Structure 1
Amino acid sequence: MTVSFPETALRAADAATRNDIDESFGLPGAFYGSDFFALERERLFPSSWCAVTNASLLPEPGDAMPVDLAGWPILLTHGKDGEIRAFHNVCRHRGIRLVKDCTHAARLTCPWHAWTYSLEGDLLAMPEIGGEKINQAPGFDKAALGLKPISVGRWLDLVFVNIDGTAPPFAEWIAPLEALLANYDLSGLRHAERLQDTYQANWKIAMEAGIEDYHLPFGHPQLEAHLFRNTTACVHRPVYTGGYVDVRAAHTEDADARAWTARLPDLKTRDGKPLPLLYSLTLFPTATVLVTADHVMLGTLLPDGPERTRMDISLYYDGEAAHDPALAEARQGNLDMWLGVIPQDKPFMEAAQATVATRDLAGIATRLSPYWEGGVHGFQQMVVDAVGPGAAD
């Protein structure tokens, strides 16, 4: 079923975002509402490589995690062979959601009629399908009735899915990001803490809030933002967008003087030097990546309807720094910093969501700062690219 959204609005947004940032307008309010979200569910999320979780949250064979991606029920499993797989979280019998909560099991059994599947998605049992104590029936081939698989990709600890299988091969899609960070040695990252929150705002508002530093001195005055604000846009459509800041001038032996680090062991380049650039990126559409001097944040902002977004982000440190008791105080300080910063953004996002239904009616078109918001401009271009003009009125 094709979702109806005005083609004229899509074409106008395409033209507006295609201009240089100093001449362009932001996405209209309607693009943050329910009708456009329905179009995204049909065109954007199924055909993109969408990050849905962190692999460290399924650490053991037998772990299973249900995930909702814009209304698409997905099941992730950690198989006996160590592979993380994805399936539609739908029993092949009557279509019930197979797994409701995270679990650890040798096999997965439907609560309704006890059809049972392996962690690799194979159908193992159809109890009494042919009658009392008769576990087979003509025309029912277990080999053809396994869970429907979904393509999976992995970068660092992020797990990506492509629901309809039409995206480019994952290695090809992720290559521009790997090239960007090719000189950064991130091989020793270890999972430490997890942060979760929910915003009553469209997923795009949440993403846009995370890739611009224009608001930092006003929204997060405690951060001494003049030391690390992103001043250079970093955009590679359709893979990533955001910004970076050059911190080479701030490197000093006096770690206490560096507000942009929590005084944990520095991450390094492949030739053993401190990281020259700090990156804040969106891997379009659902992943968020922050690479700082001494830690990395990896996670997701998943849409839960047109006006609600679920944030799930984890902190990573280099090697033993993630769990060394001697660094517990420093890690807690870093965690406390983020626990202070993240809630400060919530009222801004929700206040932006509150106007989306009226600002178009009032003829109010938003503008972006040419200096600070190049990453936001790139993100909005990616949204229009992914959905595209041409939807039926």
Structure 2
Amino acid sequence: MQPIAELLKEGAAAVGRPLADARLLPSRFYTSTEIFEAEKERIFRRNWVSVGHVAEIPKPGDRFRIDVAGEPLLIVRGRDGVVRALSAVCRHRAMLLAEGAGNAGTISCPYHKWTYALDGALMAAPLMEGASPLDEAACALPSFACEVWNGFIFVNLDGRAAPLAAALAPLGEELAPWKMDELEIVGRVVFDQRYNWKVLADNFMEAYHHFAIHPETFEPNYPAAMSQADEARGPFAALRMPHKGNELSEPLFPPLPDIPDEARRGFSVFNIYPSMLLAVFVDTVTWYRMEIESAGSFRLTIYLFAHPRSLDVPDAEALKEFLREAATAVHIEDIAACEGVQKGLESRMAVPGRLSPLEAAIHQHQQWLMGELVKA
């Protein structure tokens, strides 16, 4: 088996070339357990990872469970209104404290009822009489760095990442008219996927496949040949998909008034590194949240958002259902492509393919990934 140091060197050489000469990462970057373990440690533990949206936890006591790089987390809104990322592992016998989502005034372990406040402080440890006094500070749930950016909740596991908002300032300014911190979740669709997470990231960030995979859903209005990636401006990639003929898009819901004219004539997709995939339409926002489990599997939740003011229309419920059905149909088309790519990557005949200029956003992402992987 090829040593990981050699594989990293090979990957850096492939993506380090200018776009006109660049190739994809070698296939083992999509299939190797060793690479996946390196990604967990050097990418997902060191960088900001998107885990949720404030619309999921609007009230004190609201919480949901999620794992990041194998670390079980509990995302909680405290009594003070602050959103926190706490360890979901009880300090007594390491039982997981919760699954799914819910609301309660405290956090109670289902195993022995050790109970914590919403900020992680230990409140009660039943039937511990006769044991030495507990160090309550040591028994508090550990917390992780947590930031809310444009309504999206991000976590940094090692606590050493630079502040997120400054790094994403150009994107935050662009997206301000959508008022994303006020968005309402109008639908969620969940898929258990059996391919590498980067296969989906690659697919999401190019429209080159529209004419082949989406000949009826996207290509007629958003032709592949018209798409174009921005120059790199930070730890994210941006791909623009103009409407055919530069015509105004036909939204489902009334757009907010301050959205610029250019954004009304197409839509944009973004990859906020390492793995936040966001599609911004004139009237709605779609977020692909990946809960990455292994080199070849992840759970995908497609979140569909709209602003409450846009939903003030008589047929809002029917339009929400149409949006959910459309998102499902598009992703089912993509699943066939992604599963086919993963199967091909597992072949001995797979080689790092050349990139089209229409795949510039993939090149940017893979250059960033390699930069993170080769860091000490």
TM-score, normalized by length of structure 2?
0.90
Note the residue ranges of structure 2 that are not aligned, 5 or more in a row. Answer: none
What is the Cα deviation at residue 154 of structure 1? 1.4
Q: For 1:378, what is the secondary structure of its paired residue?
A: helix
CA contact (8 A) 1:242 1:374 kept: no
Give the deviation of 1:106 after TM superposition.
Answer: 1.3
Paired residues of 2:229 and 2:360 also in contact (CA < 8 A)? yes
How do 1:329-348 residues align onto structure 2 when only pairs under 5 Å count? 329-348=318-337
SS at match of 1:81: coil
The offset of 1:277, in angstroms, is 5.5
**C-alpha displacement of 1:96:** 2.4
CA distances 1:326-363 after superposition (whole Å, capped 9, x unpaired): 3333333333221211111112111212233334xx36
> Corresponding residue for 2:87?
88
> Match of 1:348, SS?
helix
Report the 3-state secondary structure (helix = DSSP H, G, I; strand = E; otherwise coil) of the residue aligned with 2:347.
helix
- The letter of the residue matching 1:87 is L
What's the CA shift for 1:276?
Answer: 5.2
User: Does residue 154 of structure 2 align to residue 160 of structure 1?
Assistant: yes
Amino acid across the alignment from 2:356: S
Residue 220 of structure 1, aligned match among 210, 214, 219: 214
Q: Report the 3-state secondary structure (helix = DSSP H, G, I; strand = E; otherwise coil) of the residue aligned with 2:72.
A: strand
Whether the aligned pair in 2 keeps the contact of 1:118 and 1:124 (CA below 8 Å) is yes
Q: What SS does the corresponding residue of 1:127 show, helix, strand or coil?
A: coil
Of residues 329, 350, 367, the one that matches 2:339 is: 350
SS of 1:144's equivalent?
coil
The one-letter code matched in structure 2 to 1:265 is P
Equivalent residues of 2:147, 2:164 under 8 A apart: yes
Aligned counterparts of 2:25 and 2:4: Cα–Cα separation in 1? 14
8 Å Cα contact 2:263/2:281 also seen in 1: no
Question: Matches of residues 301-340 of structure 1 in structure 2 within 5 Å?
Answer: 301-322=290-311, 324-340=313-329
2:275 aligns with: 286
Structure 1 counterpart SS, 2:166: helix
CA contact (8 A) 2:65 2:88 kept: yes
- Aligned with 2:364 (options 349, 358, 378): 378
Change in Cα spacing, 1:268 to 1:14, as seen in structure 2 (3 Å) is: farther
Of 213, 227, 232 in structure 2, the residue corresponding to residue 231 of structure 1 is 227
- Cα distance, 1:174 vs structure 2: 2.3
- 1:384 is matched by which residue type in structure 2? M
Please list the CA deviations of residues 133-183 of structure 1 after superposition, one character each: whole Å capped at 9, or x if unmatched: xxx623x22133211001111122321100001110122222232144456
1:255 match:
none
Matched, 1:364 2:360: no
What does residue range 49-68 of structure 1 map to in structure 2 within 5 Å? Answer: 49-68=48-67
C-alpha contact 1:174 1:239 (8 A) present in aligned 2: yes
Once the two structures are superposed, what CA deviation does each residue of 1:221-245 show, in whole Å capped at 9, x if it has no partner?
Answer: 2125243246211353652114113
Residue pair 2:66, 2:72 contacting (<8 A) in 1 also: yes
Count of aligned residue pairs for this structure pair: 372
Match for 2:10: what amino acid? A
Distance 1:15 1:182, change over 3 A: farther
Distance of aligned partners of 1:226 and 1:5 in 2 relative to their CA distance in 1, 3 Å threshold: farther
Pair 1:174 & 2:168 matched: yes
Question: 23-32 or 324-333, which moves further after superposition?
Answer: 324-333
- After TM superposition, the structure 1 = structure 2 runs for residues 136-215 of structure 1, keeping only pairs within 5 Å, are 137-138=132-133, 140-181=134-175, 186=180, 189-215=183-209
Distance 2:261 2:345 in 1: 48
Structure 1, unaligned stretches of length 5 or more? 253-257
Cα deviation, residue 308, structure 1: 0.8
| Conservation of the 8 A alpha-carbon contact between 2:187 and 2:303 | yes
Quick check: 1:203–1:306 contact (8 Å CA) kept in 2?
A: yes
Runs of 4+ that moved beyond 6 A: none
Whether the 8 Å contact between 1:52 and 1:159 is mirrored in structure 2 is yes
Q: CA deviation at 1:20?
A: 1.1
Change (3 A) 1:59 1:235: farther
Q: Does 1:101 align with 2:100?
A: yes
Query: 2-side partners of 1:339 and 1:233: how far apart?
Result: 25
